[in-house]
Amino acid sequence: MVVDKLWTELSGASGVALACCFMAAAVALRWSGLRRAKGAGARARQRRQAALESMDKAAQRFRLQNPDLDSEALLALTLPQLVQKLHSGELSPEAALFTYVGKAWEVNKGTNCVTSYLADCETQLSQAPRQGLLYGVPVSLKECFSYKGQGSTLGLILNEGVPAECDSVVVQVLKLQGAVPFVHTNVPQSMLSYDCSNPLFGQSTNPWKSSKSPGGSSGGEGALIGAGGSLLGLGSDIGGSIRFPSSFCGICGLKPTGNRLSKIGMKSCVYGQVAVQVSVGPMARDVESLALCMRALLCEDMFRLDPTVPPVPFNEEVYTSSRPLRIGYYETDNYTMPTPAMKRALLETKHSLEAAGHTLVPFLPSNIPYALETLSTGGLFSDGGTTFLQNFKGDFVDPCLGDLIWILKLPRWLKGLLAFLLKPLLPRLAAFLSSMKSRSAKKLWKLQHEIEVYRHSVIAQWRALDLDVLLTPMLGPAMDLNVPGKAPGAVSYTMLYNCLDFPAGVVPVTTVTIEDEAQMEHCRGYFGDIWDKMLQKGMKKSVGLPVAVQCVALPWQEELCLRLMREVERLMTPEQRPF
């Protein structure tokens, strides 16, 4: 009776009025949320503008006080050369810091890569331990690395105005080694993109060509270092986030094994996801700078501050060895068709390595589509994306994320239905959709076990050929802005080694030629789907842009990976960088 009466009431005019009230309340809440988001964005940009003005004033003040300093000569020094001059006293830490502060400010005007000036770097100068391996070296940080008193927004309003209570462990170790962190750099919203844009700080651009993406998610680092505004930076990588910016911006970058460097104090959108490992790693102009950074970080201070990191110092003997290497290689992963420039870069590097006395052996890890579509995607989104989506409540969604957000918002049953319907026409999209469904703890454990089994199978395949290291193509050249989010399948060359948790690094080896550009017209992709079409479209008009190769080693063998990277760098001579 009561239910019938209630239904009668709600079916009448009062029910319509109540529905209208609910709709009005929903609209009001949405409007209020977006208003808060706009306010947070305005505050973030005001704070950033004030920081940039502080940078400019600090650099100008130093130039006025030191008119005879040859800043161009200082900026031309490699990291090892700068370290030598700082230790000898030929250059002062103040000269290095303020020269790079000024250069970073200048670079930011063209690339929008800096989010914050770490102003206490000026006081850090007097505290830098002189015996440290990085004494007096200015270091840039991807915005996700906590720095006391500074925010790490990840381009999200829920993190705006929330300063860190302490430095992340890697920042603490850098300081103990004498380094001077001086800026935070931009990231794509949430960091789950290989572009670099967010509603708080806007779009970062490529230093080689402003219509191109710098890559992501360590895109601000790539742009800053690629344009000469920093010698050394720290990034993070869960699908290529160090390697894409390094490739697109013509610099070197290393993604170590997941737990080789500490992740304590690194901000994230999703905590507790361990199926696909995130890594902390260095980005720099050359391989020797990466090695120097790894030497500095792999020290007793790191192992003391984070006892979960294996206490394994940098192996100098492996890195400096001149023993000929047995190198596996593949020209394509048969998932993302390499661009003509990618293929040429790989083959030219292969031939140079063979001419230098190394042995090159064809090798392709097994079942790459399974690793990408089932293992990696399933591991990243085992909760259906629920935790990830919580970061976007009341926020704008940046275009760089493509269709990811609305796909994740689909109910589980609809993801399954769409996957079934799309499978004949768009098999890749269907496979990704199916893996993005939420799963039970039992199925998550099963997936994690499958990742372990896959990893051991690839290691066995590797060992059967007695390989030391592996040479692979690296996605490039840089794509047009906002294209990466529309071509998610192109992460295949990088994501594989996050799934496997193998160390992998990127070295620029050539630039796009007119012939490469002409051949792009025939690069249709293996599937001919929308992802392949976007990839081809987004990589046009790229003559002169850098192209890299990727070097890979087995877990915990970063020094061997760097050894191959150093050999590739020695043999290949890329065009002059834009700084």
Whether 217 sits among the annotated catalytic residues: the reply is yes
Catalytic residue among 146, 193, 197, 217: 217
CA 321 – CA 301 distance, rounded (Å): 27
**H-state helical runs in 147-232:** 169-176, 219-226
**256 in Cβ contact with 136 (< 8 Å):** no
Pairing of strands 138-142, 180-185: parallel
To which residue do tokens 């760089």 refer? 400
3-state helix, strand and coil shares in percent for the chain, rounded to the nearest 5: 50, 10, 35
Q: Which residues are within 8 A (CB) of 105 and not within 5 positions of it... i.e. 6 or more apart?
A: 52, 55, 56, 59, 114
Orientation of helix 287-297 relative to helix 79-88, angle to 10°: 60
CA 8 – CA 541 distance, rounded (Å): 66
CA 247 – CA 295 distance, rounded (Å): 23
**Torsional sign, CA 7, 8, 11, 15:** negative
**140 in Cβ contact with 107 (< 8 Å):** no
**503 in Cβ contact with 255 (< 8 Å):** yes
Count CA atoms within 13 Å of residue 554 on its CB side.
14
Distances from the Cα of 80 to the Cα of 49, 135, 152, 287, 550, angstroms:
33, 11, 30, 11, 23
Q: Which two tokens stand for residue 226?
A: 């690629």
CA 138 – CA 285 distance, rounded (Å): 14
CA 278 – CA 258 distance, rounded (Å): 6
Pairing of strands 232-237, 138-142: parallel
Catalytic residue among 103, 142, 255, 415: 142
CA 318 – CA 327 distance, rounded (Å): 15
Residue of 512, 484, 99 lying closest to 343 (CA atoms) = 512
**H-state helical runs in 240-339:** 243-249, 287-297, 300-305, 316-320
Question: What is the distance of C-alpha 236 from the center of its chain?
Answer: 5
DSSP state, residue 279: E
Rg of the chain over all Cα atoms, to the nearest angstrom? 24
Residue of 184, 212, 188, 190 lying closest to 198 (CA atoms) = 188
CA 498 – CA 257 distance, rounded (Å): 8
Residue type present at position 314: F
Q: Which residues are within 8 A (CB) of 61 and not within 5 positions of it... i.e. 6 or more apart?
A: none
Residue of 345, 307, 328 lying closest to 502 (CA atoms) = 328
Task: Return the active site residues.
Answer: 142, 217, 241
